[in-house]
Amino acid sequence: MIIEPNEQQELLLSTTRQFLAKEVPLSRVRELGGTDLGFDRGWWKQAAELGWTSFLVDETQGGLAEDGFDLVNLVLIAAEMGRLVAPGPLVPVNVVAAALSRGGTDDQRKEHLPGLVAGEKFAAWCVAEPGNPFGSAGVRLKATRAMGKIVLDGVKSPIEAAPFADLFLVTARLPNGSLIQVLVPADAPGIQINELDNLDLVRRFGEVVFRDVTVSVDAEVPHESVDDELRRQLEIAAILHCAEMTGAADRAFEFTLEYLFDRFSFGRSLASYQALKHRAADMLMRLEACKATVEAAACACQERQESSSMLASVAKSWVGDAAPEIVQECVQLNGGIAVTWEHDVHIYLRRVTVDRNIHGTPADHRERIASYLLQPRKLVEAS
Amino acid sequence: MIDVEEFLLRARAWLKENLTPLPQGVSQSDRLEWDEEGDLSRELQRLLFDAGYAGIAFPEEYGGRGLTVAHQKAFADEASGYEMPLRFDIPTLTILGATLLDHGTEEQRKRYIPAMLRGDEYWAQFLSEPSGGSDLAGCLTRATRRGDEWVINGSKVWSSGAFRSSYAICLARTNWEVPKHRGLTMFIVKVDQPAVQLARIQRLNGSREFCQEFLDDVVVTDADVVGEVDDGWTVTTTLLRHERNATSGGSPYGNLRSRGPSAEPRYDLVSHAVQAGLTEDRWVRQQLAEAHILDVVHGHLIARVLAGTRASTLSPHSGSLLKLFTGTKNMRRGTLAIDIGGADAVSWRRRPSGDVTEGFGEQYLSRQARCLAGGSNEMQRNIISERLLNMPRELGTDAKVPFNEARRNRPQRGS
């Protein structure tokens, strides 16, 4: 994923890869698919010890990020998870932890960060609403302030990790039209969680209904600008999903290539047919472009460049289109066996398809880019 | 060594003082078309050379600055809004200068590279032949030993800018008794001489860059051999690699800004959409974004391949990924432009008032140029699958037999 990883990144990469291969090989992922949680709580704690929950949390708050934000490391982990279609709520936990690290009050951090970082507590990131457009424009869940309380009314869906989360970070809209982010414990009265089915074997999603859910005003996360913060959260999620899709497509391409070398038809290996070689070449080109795009977006986001929000949308659009198409090419190249439950490729296809459509489809992100391109002053410098 | 920032600061001041900014709405590639004879580029190249900004990544002993690729890139980016000697980029500096660095003798490098960098001498490539396109190693132009000399006969084609070139690098067959890749030799040939007859070819877009040459008893010596006799294929492979990098924006040796051609005013879909009142059309918005995404991703891929080949984490043949991306992107972009342009893409007002769609239709007509020139998309797919993915090579029935026994096209003229 990263073209010139430094020593520390190399180490993280090999540790993560070994850990995943040992603990959650695909056979284990298949088993976990039949469980409620989709993963093992003890395993997630081990993962947390390897840094999976710490890279977006500042050192001074118990995290591992020297200047409070080390997205590139997390991107490496997400890509490795994609390679083995690993379980675990990487995106919601990290996005919420990052939001608290950056914008939370001391009390909020003290109360929630240690559990999240240790892998003992889980958070769900509640932005999406059913039937509404992606991003801030789609946030309609009502928040009203009354007598030292905040009251929430509305529905969030589909929300990853909702069925087992301890804590929700909810983006809501105040009567004056502005946005607010509020921390809500999962057991607050008025919350109803309806578990959803989804394409992925080990990811879990839910619909969260808020009916007059009342929390103290202290539950508000006091961001300087909720719009900017939400944009950044969406950016982080998009980049992590893209990294995961790229890792998944990368691995599916690898085992498909092995198959092409091993499988003989009409007295020659499939890898020797030019029609198939040319398709493999196209796949590699798109895959390398995915890696390039994810790295560029991750670095821009980490360095807080102004372009990073658009680069994240470029990535979600490009990778979101390319990765599922690459994996489906893998299905075609593996032949009939690849449409069976027994073959692993569908596990990959499930994951990339979910990642493609969650938090903005490629078309949604193209619409964002179009808005940006058509701003008068951006017409020239748009890149 | 001067660090990049310091270098850039000095370059910025120098550029402002000495070069002319491009007029509003004119891109560097527009200027390229208007400077057909290349005289403007000669002057500008000389100006750069005298100020120490020519051949920034070429070694000092051959007239360069001996700095890094990062210096060159920084300079090219900084200079992208100015008149620059782009005619020297392809093929002179980025392909042939680079190939001479890799395979030329010390005498050849000292004689020819500084003259390129000074803006004195353009070069051309005598590689393709009328009888063969992708199968370069099936070359029929022959070089025959005569005493101490070699005598070259044959015909070459698709040689860009040969009419303005002083020298060409010329692939010829020196041994017909061995398989095709092993009997070739690369020579340096003086272009302006009676034994080289030159004709210009007009492309469908009106460009007259391409040439065809007829070589009739062209005499060269051993001092003109690049690499080893009968080992011209090694030189060719290097040359093609430099060519793929150069034509895909990934060369470290040129003056042109090394990134995707995103902000070409003559191909500006966004401006057209604004002028034509299409900005609220959901479908047009999707297409504008797609065109932009292609350019941005292209830029990222160039950066990745450059970094990866430099650090040897990617194969040196990865330039083929860029070449294929450029070709396929150009196809898609051509479609997007003609769709968004509608009727305005096929008819437009004349300059000077002009329409922004001028060029959309022409680009569409020749959008395949980049899928063909410098090795077709299909050749790139062969290279990617065989060199990067180690898939089995295509069966060539002529690769193992002596060339004079292999089946081949009949020569069209000259050999």
Closest CA relative to residue B167, chosen from B200, B213, B228: B213
Contact (CB<8Å) B296/A314: yes
Query: With contacts defined as CB-CB under 8 Å, which chain A residues touch B282?
Result: 367
Residue B151 · residue B218 · CB < 8 Å: yes
Say yes or no to pLDDT of A91 above 90: yes
Q: Residue B358: what pLDDT?
A: 77
- Domains of chain A (ranges; CATH) run 7-121 (1.10.540.10), 124-219 (2.40.110.10), 226-378 (1.20.140.10)
ipTM of predicted complex: 0.95
Q: Residue B265: what pLDDT?
A: 43
Residue B68 · residue B60 · CB < 8 Å: no
Nearest chain B Cα distance for residue A173, angstroms:
27
Q: What are phi and psi of A325, to 5 degrees?
A: -70, -40
CA contacts within 13 A on the Cβ side of B139 = 30
Predicted confidence pLDDT, tens digits, chain B (415 residues):
899 999 999 999 999 999 988 877 666 766 777 788 899 999 999 999 999 999 999 999 999 999 998 899 889 889 988 888 989 999 999 999 999 999 999 999 999 999 999 999 999 999 999 987 788 999 999 999 999 999 999 999 999 999 999 999 999 999 999 999 999 999 999 999 999 999 999 988 888 999 999 999 999 999 999 999 999 999 999 999 899 888 777 787 887 764 444 444 445 899 889 989 999 999 999 999 999 999 999 999 999 998 998 899 999 899 999 999 999 999 999 999 999 999 999 998 887 777 778 788 888 998 888 898 888 999 999 999 999 999 999 887 788 889 988 877 665 554 4
Q: Residue A104: what pLDDT?
A: 96
Say yes or no to pLDDT of A259 above 70: yes
Give CA–CA dist A113/A97, Å, rounded: 6
Tell whether B273 lies on the interface with A, counting CB pairs under 8 A: yes
Known catalytic residues of B are: 243
Q: How far is CA B213 from the centre of its chain?
A: 19
Tell whether B376 lies on the interface with A, counting CB pairs under 8 A: no
Q: Residue A1: what pLDDT?
A: 87
CA contacts within 13 A on the Cβ side of B193 = 14
Q: Which residues of B207-219 are buried (b: 16+ CB within 10 A; e: fewer)?
A: eebbbbbbbbebe
Q: Which residues of A248-287 are buried (b: 16+ CB within 10 A; e: fewer)?
A: bbbbbbeebbebbeeeeeeeebbbbbeebbbbbbbbbbbb
Q: Residue A105: what pLDDT?
A: 97
Residue B398 · residue B408 · CB < 8 Å: yes
Nearest chain B Cα distance for residue A251, angstroms:
14
Chain B segment 297-316 residues within 8 A of A by beta carbon are 297-301, 303-305, 307-308, 311, 313-314
Tokens representing residue A60 in the block: 């001074």
Q: Which of A281, A289, A293 lies nearest to residue B385, judging by beta carbons? A: A281
Q: Which amino acid is at B230?
A: D
Q: Residue B25: what pLDDT?
A: 66
pTM: 0.90
pLDDT band, residue A383 (cuts 50/70/90): very low
Q: Residue B264: what pLDDT?
A: 45
| DSSP label of B20 | P
Give CA–CA dist B98/B300, Å, rounded: 24
Nearest chain B Cα distance for residue A136, angstroms:
19
What integer best gives the mean pLDDT of chain A? 95
pLDDT band, residue A382 (cuts 50/70/90): very low
Say yes or no to pLDDT of A323 above 50: yes
- Domains of chain B (ranges; CATH) run 4-89+97-120 (1.10.540.10), 125-231 (2.40.110.10), 259-375 (no CATH)
Tell whether B1 lies on the interface with A, counting CB pairs under 8 A: no
pLDDT digit string, tens, across residues A338-373: 999 999 999 999 999 999 999 999 999 999 999 999
Tokens representing residue A158 in the block: 């589909």
pLDDT digit string, tens, across residues A4-59: 999 999 999 999 999 999 999 999 999 999 999 999 999 999 999 999 999 999 99
Residue A97 · residue A53 · CB < 8 Å: yes
Contact (CB<8Å) B289/A369: yes
Query: With contacts defined as CB-CB under 8 Å, which chain B residues touch A293?
Result: 296-297, 300-301
Contact (CB<8Å) A374/B274: yes
Q: Within A219-307, where are the H helices?
A: 226-262, 274-302
A257, closest residue in chain B (CA to CA)? B389
Chain B segment 327-356 residues within 8 A of A by beta carbon are 328
A253, closest residue in chain B (CA to CA)? B389
Contact (CB<8Å) B378/A382: no
Contact (CB<8Å) A296/B274: no
- Name the pairing type of β-strands B123-126 and B167-173: parallel
Q: Which of B286, B308, B392 lies nearest to residue A370, judging by beta carbons? A: B286
Query: With contacts defined as CB-CB under 8 Å, which chain A residues touch B286?
Result: 363, 366-367, 370
Mean pLDDT on A201-229: 97
pLDDT digit string, tens, across residues B119-128: 999 999 999 9
Q: Which of B279, B303, B384 lies nearest to residue A284, judging by beta carbons? A: B384
Say yes or no to pLDDT of A73 above 70: yes
Residue A79 · residue A246 · CB < 8 Å: yes
A317: Cβ contacts below 8 Å, ≥ 6 apart:
A362, A363, A365, A366, A369, B289, B290, B293
Closest CA relative to residue B258, chosen from B308, B332, B209, B322: B322
Nearest chain B Cα distance for residue A221, angstroms:
34
